[in-house]
Structure 1
Amino acid sequence: MFGISVPPRQGVMNKKARSMAGIWLRAIVVIPTIATTDGTMANFIVTFEFKSDDTRKARYDSFVKKINELTAYKHWDETTSFYCFRLDTTADDLCSSLYVGSDFNATKDIMVVIDVTNKNKAVKGPLEYSSLLDLYLGF
């Protein structure tokens, strides 16, 4: 949001400074929080699908190992292909860490990392209905 305001005359003591001040441009820019740089933890959901083939088990096992490593085994995982946890990172960084740190194959596997706290997401793999994901998440 942008607005224009005139500086208050009582705040400027000398005449020259008042004439130089003119009109101030005030810009209020809302920047969405995408990183937890203040030391707080963000809440994440990671959901995934590994294509069934002869290397699926190895890819899956390395992915789970990486999640356990990143979360120090502090996560919720009672349902299939779904993890919920808190970390001090961003969705993009977490998605990259899981991709690079495991045998995840972006040409056939799918991973969606959702930062619930900051309303942000990151995706790897061939999503068929990405517009529906955007619509139903709302971001």
Structure 2
Amino acid sequence: MAIFAISFRVKDTGNRQERWQSMVDKIREIASKSWDETTSFFIIEANRTAGSLADAIYFETEMAASDTLLVVNLSTKVYAKHGEIKYPNTLDSLMSSR
């Protein structure tokens, strides 16, 4: 089991609420434990890798390519991302500095 931080942004287009809810439902389904008191941010425990968790949220929900998803494994120095990342070099630089 590992601990993950998950953050996402659902772009304000189309079926925004349905996309957001499908992502929340998938995260809750995967998590054995979760904390989700803030909007679009979760800390969960799951038996996955960052990549497989991000893929499940991206491919098994209504998430659009214009939405943004970041999954960080807090137990290791691994992270995964999907969707529209405006500043990927900044994100990669910060994550590699951990």
The structure 1 residue matched to 2:85, chosen from 127, 132, 138, is 127
Q: Which residue of 2 aligns with 1:80?
A: 39
- Count matched residues: 97
Is 1:47 the counterpart of 2:7? The answer is: yes
Is 1:89 the counterpart of 2:83? The answer is: no
Structure 1 residue ranges, 4+ long, deviating more than 4 angstroms after superposition: none
Identity value in percent:
34
1:9-49 CA-to-partner distances (Å, cap 9, x unmatched) read xxxxxxxxxxxxxxxxxxxxxxxxxxxxxxxx111010000
Question: Partners in 1 of 2:88 and 2:50 — Cα distance?
Answer: 16
Root-mean-square deviation (CA), in Å? 1.3
**CA shift for structure 1 position 54:** 2.9
More strand by share: 2
**CA shift for structure 1 position 126:** 1.4
Unaligned runs of 5+ in 2: none
Normalised by the length of structure 1, the TM-score is 0.66
Higher relative contact order (CA 8 A, sep 6+): 2
Unaligned runs of 5+ in 1: 1-40
